[in-house]
Structure 1
Amino acid sequence: MTKPCPCGRTHAKGQALSFDACCGPYYPSQNAPDAESLMRSRYSAFVLGDVPYLLATWHSSQRPADLQLEAGAKWLGLEIRQHRSTGEHTAEVEFVARFRVGGKAVRQHERSRFVREDGRWYYVDGDVL
């Protein structure tokens, strides 16, 4: 039995998808089919501490040279509030990610922008809401 995907995506009947059936296939290729799937796989990468994946899926125009994850963060869940196309090769995803660090609860509410280049989706940037 495989573990549920950290992103929390479920089947139509509400049953959690496994990591292998959800975000896992995007890791070798980084080729998510849409911006929401990329957002979910990036959340899973934060949970798993996969910095190389996060950097590889960040658009080169905004990608930091280095990325340090919050030490000791315990990720608690992801809620996708909205996913919408904003153009032929652009999209936005509004989400709320919850985590705990140093005993303090954190709620990150963001509207992220994504772009598709050469058939691949990339995270560009976002506005904290």
Structure 2
Amino acid sequence: MDYWIEFLMTTALGIISYFLKKTMDKIDRTEREVQRIERDFVTETSHAKDMEDMGRDITKIREDYTPRNEFKEAVHEFRNDLKAAQKEFLTKEDFIRENRKTEQRLDDIYKLLLKERS
């Protein structure tokens, strides 16, 4: 009979230990979760300020936003202006070529003037 009493006491202690361990683990997890929440906690005033900032950012983006069609149109106009400018203005090579022609004519005039003096 003593054997059964020892067996029941050991079993009862084992069951109590198991549930106590399970409860302690749950308490530890809850404590870690509370610490995480405290660490990541955002106050209402901080949240309100962040929302205001975000609202201002969204408003600024809306003001500065250029729709895709308008952007494509502006790029198209810029390309047309660039093509027109290329037709109207001299290239560097054209400028150099015309400058050389002018220098050659000036040299010819200078030579003629020198011949007339002599």
Instruction: Normalising by structure 1, report the TM-score.
Output: 0.15
Largest Rg, 1 or 2: 2
Instruction: From the two aligned structures, give the one with the greater strand fraction.
Output: 1
Instruction: From the two aligned structures, give the one with the greater helix fraction.
Output: 2
